[in-house]
Amino acid sequence: MSPSRKVNAGGILFFEALAEIGPGCHLRHKRYNSKSDESDPRVGAIRSSPYSEKRHYMSSISPLAGQRAATSSLTDVPVLVSSYYSLRPDAGIASHQVAFGTSGHRGSSLSYSFNEWHVLAITQAICDYRAENNISGPLFIGIDTHALSAPAFASALEVLAANGVQTMVSRGTPYTPTPAISHAILMHNRMHPSALADGIVITPSHNPPDNGGFKYNTPNGGPADTNVTNWIEKRANVYLQSAVRDVKRIPYDRALRAASTHQYDYLETYINDLPNIIDLSAIRDAGISIGVDPLGGAGVHYWGAIADRYDLRLTVVNREVDPTFRFVPLDWDAQIRMDPSSQYAMRELISLKDKFDIAFACDTDHDRHGIVTKSVGLMPSNHFLSAAVSYLFQHRPEWRADTGVGKTLVSSQMIDRVAAQLHRPLQEMPIGFKWFVDGLQDGSLGFGCEESAGASFLRFDGTPWSTDKDGITAALLAAEMTARTGRDPGEIYRGLTEQLGLPCNGRIEAAATPEQKKLLSKLSADNVHSTQLAGEEIRQILTTAPANDKAFGGVKIVSDNGWFAARPSGTEHIYKIYAESFRDEKHLDSIFYEAQEIVSAALAAG
């Protein structure tokens, strides 16, 4: 970690940390903690630049980051699970209500935001939605390894069975990765188009151990669109208001034995199909050594089975499952997060990088990936995504000539440059993987990706594999790239920067109240009073995504060699500013400064 400095800007404390990622450039991931001047209506806003004295930083990173948690600080699982059943949310309190963010409903039983009533209400609402939309096929359901996932599964199955929904539960292993659910939905619907299936994934993704989460995937295999989640959310809150009295349910033991409950071998079905998307023979024949850390997640039993089935030199470095996740090093703020893109959570795998030709990890539901190479260590997600696009479109000859690349507005413009180099169309979407589902399903997108280390791509023949994020195939793709090119993805990315330029990019975050988030979501061109961004002419001011004209709840400003996007988080009480420069770090600092000025003005105007 570089030297550091603390800046006090009018009562707001800003901290930043600098991590070296390559020659001549740095990746910034700045977390800003508000210290309060409660009388200031702009608490949490950024009102002066913390970049004026470069390379003099004081890190906000906890000194415990990268270390394992003390036993005394681990989640008390018995208390967490008992709270799931014993605490009753108050539907009149906003924080207790069902609320679907960008990735389903999430919360903790300890804060009345993920309790039995929530799951009962959401599941009944999904049953109602299925009935109203004539979804008559089976519902595929799976869980991750969070402590609240198993209780939530029991609650959901009680409702599904009472409603007579044909429900496919996992056979063999209790845990099911998100992509295995999406894959199963697509497999069924390809063969049974007159009785379409859908799915539920019980996971809060990489969130801390005391969290629970509940996602609904529609018959297209991907995350439900906003109009669907809004309908389910509204209906679920009606059930919550009536203390779930109108929810149909039967006891769990009866639900397990119900004629509508069926076992489905997700693991075998998914693994048997892998040769249709990954060149496993090339990985085997190259004899490369692979290290995998499942981070205690839902794919923990998949990796060994993949290695055995396809004779790969693959070592699972940690097979442990423990709902406290005590084996995952603490993240930047001393919280446990199973985030494979975090240099802190990934520290133990990073330390093993020289023992393997390629190594990787996935988050708890295995829809995100983290790639560790000998050449650079943990790859920033934008770097791997750029390298993956370059590789895939040169090694998938059966894909249609018009098949394109999908990315979110806040992903690196290096992806744009790679797509242009390959003469492939680019679709720039709002934040959320749901926006890539249609393109992956109809083959107009060969690859869809988010800057938060989520991606999915087509089979060799150009048909869909998973329309949700798939961390397993993304990780195996890194092994295929290494095996077939003789270069790891870090080396491939370095080659791209030599051709297309070396971007400097990063993200800053700051606390924001719900009221401030509403103000920030209304940012528009009217908030921009300059014709230039960091000395360059502004080419675009976007409040909707170019690919589908959907609002993304913020603003993006683009010049020839840089851009920034500002938006409130959909899942946390923070706002985020993303920025990138293809010139240098000084230019990036200028972009961040001007972005902060726009955000501050918007908050002040409110």
Question: Where is the domain boundary, 269, 290, 311?
Answer: 269
Residue 333 has pLDDT above 60, yes or no: yes
Residue 572 lies in a domain: yes
As a whole number of angstroms, the distance between CA 383 and CA 511 comes to: 27
Q: Which of 59, 149, 205, 452 is catalytic?
A: 205
Half-sphere exposure of 571 (CA within 13 A, CB side): 17
Using 50, 70 and 90 to split pLDDT, how confident is the model at 525? confident
Q: Is the pLDDT of residue 30 over 70?
A: no
Asked whether residue 178 is assigned to any structural domain, the reply reads yes
Flag whether 104 is in a domain: yes
Is a pLDDT exceeding 70 seen at residue 124? yes
Q: Which helix (H) or strand (E) holds 20?
A: strand 18-22
Note the pTM of the prediction, 2 decimals. Answer: 0.91
**Residue 416 vs residue 59, higher pLDDT:** 416
Clarify whether residues 20 and 89 are in a common domain: no
The predicted structure's pLDDT at residue 63 = 94
Query: Does 23 share its domain with 145?
Result: no
- Token pair of 549 as six digits: 């004209």
Tell me the C-alpha to C-alpha distance, in Å, between residue 512 and each of 243, 509, 519, 530, 568. Answer: 31, 9, 10, 25, 8
Please check whether residue 60 is in contact with residue 16, taking contact to mean a CB–CB distance below 8 angstroms.
yes
The set of residues, in sequence order, having a beta carbon less than 8 Å from that of 442 and lying 6+ positions away, is none
- Is 41 in the same domain as 129? no
Expressed in angstroms, the distance from the first to the final Cα of the chain is: 37
Predicted local distance difference test score (pLDDT) of residue 513? 84
Report which DSSP code applies to 171.
S
Domain end (from 214, 242, 269): 269
> How many other CB atoms sit within 10 Å of the CB of residue 82?
13
| Residue 445 located in a structural domain | no
Burial of 491 (0-12, 13-18, 19+ CB in 10 A): middle
Confidence of residue 51 (pLDDT cuts 50, 70, 90): very low
Q: Are 41 and 90 within one domain? A: no
Counting the structural domains of the chain, the total is: 2
* 169 and 247 housed in the same domain: yes
Burial string for 175-203 (b: 16+ CB within 10 Å, else e) reads bbbbbbbbbbbbbbbeeeeeebbbbbbbb
Closest among 586, 546, 544 to 562, alpha carbons compared: 586
Helix (H) or strand (E) holding 581: strand 574-581
Q: The tokens of 6 are what?
A: 């603390």
- Give ∠ CA 193-195-200 in degrees, rounded to 5: 105
Let me know if residue 36 belongs to a domain: yes
Dig out the tokens for 210 from the structure. 């005391």
The confidence score (pLDDT) of residue 606 equals: 66
CB 366 within 8 A of CB 179: yes
Residue 465: CB atoms within 10 Å = 24
Q: Indicate which CATH number applies to the domain containing 103.
A: 3.40.120.10
Same domain, 53 and 97: no
In this structure, the answer to whether residues 511 and 570 fall within a common structural domain is: yes
Q: Where are the beta strands (DSSP E) in 61-149?
A: 100-101, 104-108, 139-143
The three-state secondary structure class of 211 is: strand
Q: What number of other Cβ atoms are within 10 A of residue 251's Cβ?
A: 12
Beta bridge partners of 455: 449
pLDDT higher at 38 or 526: 526
Weakest mean pLDDT among 16-20, 26-30, 148-152: 16-20
Could you tell me if residue 347 is inside a domain?
Answer: no
Q: Going by C-beta distance under 8 Å and a sequence separation of 6 or more, which residues neighbour residue 246?
A: 124, 239
Q: Given 3-state DSSP classes, what are the helix, strand and coil percentages for the chain, each rounded to the nearest 5?
A: 35, 20, 45
Residue 18: is its pLDDT beyond 70?
A: no
Query: Which pLDDT does position 25 carry in this prediction?
Result: 54
For residue 35, list its beta bridge partners. Answer: none
What is the predicted pLDDT for the residue at 571?
Answer: 64
What pLDDT band is residue 461 in, cutting at 50, 70 and 90?
Answer: very high
| Percent above pLDDT 90 for the chain | 80
Kindly state whether residue 150 falls inside one of the protein's structural domains. yes
28 and 118 in a single domain? The answer is: no
Query: How many Å apart are CA 127 and CA 131, to the nearest integer?
Result: 6
Q: DSSP state, 294? A: -
- Per-residue pLDDT at 120: 98
Q: Tell whether 35 and 139 lie within a shared domain.
A: no
Catalytic status, residue 205: yes
pLDDT of residue 270: 98
Structural domain boundaries, residue 15: 7-61+503-605
Mean pLDDT score across all residues of the chain: 89
Give me the pLDDT at residue 24, please. 39
Cα 90 to the chain's mean position, in Å? 29
> Are 114 and 199 contained in the same domain?
yes
Does residue 158 share a domain with residue 44?
A: no
Query: Among all chains, which residue has been given the structure tokens 């119900």?
Result: 258
Structure tokens at 591: 């972009």
In this predicted structure, the answer to whether residue 502 has a pLDDT above a threshold of 60 is yes
Find tokens 């109203």 and name the residue.
132
Residue 530's pLDDT band (boundaries 50, 70, 90)? Answer: confident
**pLDDT computed for residue 425 by the predictor:** 98
Of 411, 368, 367, the closest CA to residue 389 belongs to 411
Looking at 227, 253, 269, the residue that finishes a domain is: 269
Mean pLDDT of 359-373: 98
| CATH number of the structural domain spanning residue 43 | 3.30.310.50
Q: Does the residue 580 lie in any domain?
A: yes
527 and 521 Cβ atoms separated by less than 8 Å: no
Q: Helix, strand or coil for residue 143?
A: strand
Same domain (yes/no): 216, 163? yes
Q: What tens digit of pLDDT does each residue of 266-306 get?
A: 999 999 999 999 999 999 999 999 999 999 999 999 999 99
